[in-house]
């Protein structure tokens, strides 16, 4: 009877090890799939050339890329505007605390947009 219990313990331990190995395998596979997807997204131009242009998935990716480029340009313009305001405020010799308050309000405005 004692050996029967130890056999069950061994089977249980083995099943747990197999489950952990399977979970690790799934996690590793998910990681590699995520990396492949990321690489495909970063290399959209080559994929668009290789794929049928009429494909809806390619069109969606091209639209996402256009949107990301536009958003990047918008953020760069907002950053440039903030830098100009910062230079102006420093030139006007406004105390540092006032600069921080103005920056907080400007950043809140950018976040709301």
- Distance between CA atoms of 93 and 41, rounded to whole angstroms? 47
Residue 105 within a domain: yes
pTM score: 0.31
Is residue 62 assigned to a domain? no
Placement of tokens 């131009």 in the chain: 45
Nearest to residue 78, comparing CAs of 112, 49, 55, 45?
A: 112
> Does residue 67 lie within any of the structural domains?
no
Average pLDDT rounded to a whole number, residues 23-51 = 58
Residue 107, pLDDT score = 75
Report the distance separating Cα 105 and Cα 27, nearest Å: 43
* Residue at 1 is within a domain: no
| Residue 81 in domain | yes
Domain limits for position 85: 74-112
- As given in the structure block, the two tokens for residue 107 are 């950043």
Q: How far apart are CA 14 and CA 9, in angstroms?
A: 8
Q: What is the count of structural domains for the chain?
A: 2
Identify whether 61 is part of a domain: no
Q: What is the pLDDT of residues 48-96, one digit of tens each?
A: 444 555 556 667 778 888 888 888 888 888 888 888 887 777 766 656 6
């Amino acid at each position: 009877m004692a050996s029967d219990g130890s056999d069950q313990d061994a089977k249980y331990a083995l099943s747990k090890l197999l489950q952990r190995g399977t979970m690790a395998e799934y996690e590793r596979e998910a990681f590699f799939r995520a990396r492949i997807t990321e690489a495909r997204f970063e290399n959209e131009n080559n994929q668009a050339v290789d794929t049928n242009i009429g494909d809806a998935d390619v069109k969606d990716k091209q639209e996402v890329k256009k949107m990301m480029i536009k958003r990047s340009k918008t953020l760069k313009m907002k950053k440039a505007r903030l830098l100009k305001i910062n230079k102006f405020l420093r030139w006007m010799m406004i105390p540092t605390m006032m600069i921080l308050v103005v920056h907080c309000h400007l950043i809140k405005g950018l976040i709301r947009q």
